Amino acid sequence: MSTAREQPIFSTRAHVFQIDPATKRNWIPAGKHALTVSYFYDATRNVYRIISIGGAKAIINSTVTPNMTFTKTSQKFGQWADSRANTVYGLGFASEQHLTQFAEKFQEVKEAARLAREKSQDGGELTSPALALAAHQVPPSPLVSANGPGDEKLFRSQSADVPGPAERERLKKMLSEGSVGEVQWEAEFFALQDSNNKLAGALREANAAAAQWRQQLEAQRAEAERLRQRVAELEAQAAAAEPPSVSEKEGPGQSLEQLEALVQTKDQEIQTLKSQTGGPREALDATEREEAQQKVQDLETRNAELEHQLRATERSLEEARAERERARAEVGRAAQLLDVRLFELSELREGLARLAEGTP
C-alpha cells in the first residue's frame, strides 16, 4: 500500500493469472497457489484499487475505473482488462459463490468510482464512497477468513490510519509469514484430493473392466462347452452313419456279390429253358410245356425282385456314404470353430492377466 490511508473494502482468495503479452491469448499463472486479492480505497486520491501481493512483489495493482468491466467466463473464472497496466487479469476461484461475490463487489466499486469522478468534476463536496460500500460489504468466505491474524492486524492498522513506512513494512511481513504456512497446507491438500480422485476413478474403471472381462470369460467358457457337446453329438452321428459291414448287410444270408452271382445264374437258367422250349414241340407233351413256362415266369419274377433289391442296396450304400461325408464335414467345421473359440479364450485369459498385473 502506498499510504496508510488506504482502507480494505473486500478480500478473498483466488488463483491469479495474467494474459500472455506475446500471444494475447494464453494465460500465465502468477503462482502455484491461491493468493489473497483485495479491494482497497485510497482516501487521499479518492480511487479504488485491486491489489494482490505474492511474496515480496505486487502481482495485481489495478486501479478500478468506470470504464472497466469484469466478465465471468466460466462458473469459477472471471477476468478484466486494465488499460493502464496494458494487461488482462484473470482470477480462478474455489467456488461459484466466491466469483459472484467478487463480481458484485467489482460493480459496486466501479459505480463508486464513477460517482467519485462525477463529484470531483462538478467540484462538489466529496464524501468517502468507502463508507457506503462498507454498509453492504459481503462477508468474506471461510477461505478468506483463514488468512490468519496477520490480515486482521493489517486491516485494523490501516483503518486506524497509522502513519510510517516502517509500520507498513512490518505489517506486510507479518501478513506474508502468516499466510505462507496456510498456502502450503492448502496446496498439499488440493494436490492430495486431486490424486485421490484420480486414483478412485482409475480403480472404478479397472473394476468395471475386470467385471466385463469376467462376463466375457464366462460367455466364452459356456460357448466352448456347447461346442464340445456339439462335437460329441456329431461324432456319435458319424459313427451311427458308418456303412454296415458285409456280415451286417447280408440280411437273409446274401451279400451284394452273392446277389449278382445269383442273378447271373438265373439268367443262364432262363436262357437254357428258353432254348429247351424252342426245340421240337413234338417231344414235349402239354403238361411239361406248362410246367416249363411256369418255371420260366417264376425265374423272371425272382430275377426282377433280385435286381430291385440290388438297386435298393446300391442306393442305400450311396446314401450312407453321402451321410458319412456330410457328418465328417460338419465335424471338421465344428472342430475349426472350437479351435477359434479356444484361441479367443486364451487371448482373453492373457488380457485378464495383464489387466490384473497393471491394476494397483
C-alpha span between 315 and 287 (Å, rounded): 42
Which residues make beta-bridge pairs with 90? 17, 79
With b for 16 or more beta-carbon neighbours within 10 A and e for fewer, the 294-324 pattern comes to eebeebeeebeebeebbeebeeeeeeeeebb
Give residue-wise pLDDT tens across range 223-274: 888 888 888 888 888 777 765 554 444 454 556 777 888 888 888 888 787 7
Q: Which long-range contacts (CB under 8 A, 24 or more apart) does 251-260 make?
A: 256/310, 256/313, 259/306, 259/309, 259/310, 259/313, 260/310
pLDDT at 142: 37
Which residues make beta-bridge pairs with 58? 53
pLDDT at 139: 41
User: Within 13 Å, how many C-alpha atoms sit on residue 223's CB side?
Assistant: 16
All cell numbers assigned to 291? 410246367
Domain ranges of the chain: 8-118
pLDDT at 155: 33
pLDDT at 168: 61
pLDDT at 100: 95
* Coil/strand/helix, residue 183: helix
Fold of 8-118: PH-domain like (2.30.29)
Cα–Cα nearest to 348, from 201, 224, 187: 224
pLDDT at 110: 93
Q: What is the pTM of this model?
A: 0.37
C-alpha span between 59 and 21 (Å, rounded): 15
What stretches in the chain show pLDDT beneath 70?
Answer: 1-5, 123-191, 193, 242-255, 276-285, 360
pLDDT at 179: 44
| Type of residue found at 209 | A
pLDDT at 359: 72
Percentage of the chain with pLDDT > 70?
71
pLDDT at 297: 87
pLDDT at 144: 36
C-alpha torsion angle, residues 193, 198, 199, 202 (rounded to 10): 160
* Coil/strand/helix, residue 7: strand
